Structure 1
Amino acid sequence: MNTMDNLEKQLICPICLEMFTKPVVILPCQHNLCRKCANDVFQVRGSLTSGGRFRCPSCRHEVVLDRHGVYGLQRNLLVENIIDMFKQESNGTDGSSISYRDRKEETPMCDVHEEEKINIYCVTHGVPTCSMCKVFGAHKDCEVAPITSVYQSKKTELSDGIAMMVGNNDRMQGIISQLEEACRTIEENGRRQKTLVCERFDQLYSILEGKKREMSQKVTAEQEEKVNYIRGLTQKYGDHLEESCKVVELGIQTMEEPEMALFLQVRVNTKQDLNSHLDKVERGYENMDHYSVDFKKEGTALRGLDFLQGERTELAGAAYSFDL
């Protein structure tokens, strides 16, 4: 019995919740549907969105149909043969074809009146019951209806609800796909914009680097000019000092000459005028402060830049709307 029960569960259509009715179609995802149920799902799906496609109610795999619709889907003859063998195995003793589930549940009995079959439906309380409960029991004042009519009504209502939910699930799956695509687009746009922003900043860095290099070259040129001038002047003063030391040495030697005639013959020039042939360094000549920069104004301007203004404008004009 457990084996038969498990087998029957495998032969239940996920749409109508009954055993597959022939013809049985197989979807690309290898799940099965009654052709009628597949057509019902496709009709609901098609009434909501365009396109010859719907999603498998078991795994949500998208089924793309050709111009033949669900009639273009391949029949699953293996499942149909299994259904036939199952029904033959489940035949009743009288030879009539009764499914295992029907045979197991063909005589549900009332819990209160154990010998009475459940054959009516209490509309007031929404439960199936027996005739004795309606005549003498707890449901004698209730509104009742034939269980067969209620069964057909509830079954149709459930089938329609399932089909509608399948259609709604398909729509939600479409919205999810749109949201996922939006995420991918945002990520791609973000990467592209970061690249553009980095390029703009690199251009600004390049301009600043050029200005820095230009000013550095000017400072270096003036530095070398002044240093060379000072070194040349130092050399001149050194040469003058060397000459002056020689004069001093000659004067000292002359001072030691005891012979007056010889002393007077030596001419020693001790009146050299430095102002006559040597330059002087002006005060502040070594100062380089005139090469100064003040970026306070530019820094304030840079800190005040709103790099997101364009993005805010773009985002303000973009709106995503997904209606369920």
Structure 2
Amino acid sequence: MERLEEELTCAICYDIFEEPRVLPCSHTFCRVCLQDLLQPSYAFPSRRCLTCPACRAVVPIPAAGPQELPLNFALKAVIEKWQQEERARAEERARAGTEAGAGAGAGAEAGTCRAHPQQPLNIYCLKDRQLVCGQCLTIGEHHGHPIDDLQSAYRKAREASGKLLEELMGKCCSEVFSCSERLQQQKAQCQSTLQSDREAVLRYFKELGDTLEHKKEALLTALDELDSQISEKFDPLIKDAEKLKVEETELKELHLAVQKEQSPLLFLEKLDRLQQRLRALTQQQLPNAEPVEIHPRMETLLQDTWSKTEIGQVHKIHTPKLHLTGKSQCSGKQTGAAAVWAALTEPNVIVLILVVVVSLWHMETSAGALLTPLTDLSQFLGRIYRDCCRYLHDTVEELCYTSTLPKEFCRRILP
């Protein structure tokens, strides 16, 4: 009995186990005792750890505390059974002490059978597990039941309880531990898979975010570069316009001063200076900039290209080259080609070509050297053709970027 009590005693508090919890090292202690041994863990920031009093191994404890450790159900069942037997033995000892100290009449009444008065309860029924009298065994309800002496039954039960504890601590306990470890391994495997998926999600969206951030910076850089071009184009013109505004303001102030002048001579002098500056201002050409447009527009690019591109293909989108174009250029190359064709079909151009051909045909040549004018004509027409091609190429480019009219093209061709 003492050996069993030692097995049921906690190695920390030296008392019977209360809520026995199993550590990862397989040793069992009271939950409250483990709570008192907790220490902060530097290896597990979200956990705490303790040193096992039995094997001195440092084991981690869940963040919620020892109550999350597996409960030793087998040991708990043995403890409950042992406590029940202890209470029964205590009651029996108390009853035996009461009978020994009481009077003879009282002792006979306390130790007699209720069904058969005056019959002592001195036989233990193994089937019903209670004390009975001789008549209960012979003519009563316990007839034919296996019996034994109380002390003998007690010794046998003590021995059986020790074997029961060994059985519980052996096969049953190992099965419980195996089940607990198997469940923990399954949980750890699922959590590992979940962590891998979580890392994959974070990695994918980080790469996607980096790509989008890079594309955003590229588009903003292109806009900044175009903004610099706009400033270079318009800032000097704005500066000249501001100078003209200042000159206009000064002339207004000078005009007021002239109106207030009382001296005839000074009035005439100031008026003359005012007129000279006014003529200079009116003759000065106002700064003018050709109306321009930004091409391509980012809003159109985002709607037509970005919104129709799959997420995985975003990195293949190229950053466009932004530039300023004249508003007349929006008509495209087809408009420029139409203007060139209109210029070539002008009557002046046709007349020019005919005049050149006739002049060369009537060139002063000898009657016997007819091939020489033809050769000269061929060479001259070749030069005319090359010059016309060059003029046409230059004029097409100028039409696309300066919006000149077909008649202006003709004036460039005609001397």
Q: TM-score, normalised by structure 1?
A: 0.40
Q: TM-score, normalised by structure 2?
A: 0.33
Structure with the higher helix share, 1 or 2: 2
Question: Bigger radius of gyration, 1 or 2?
Answer: 2
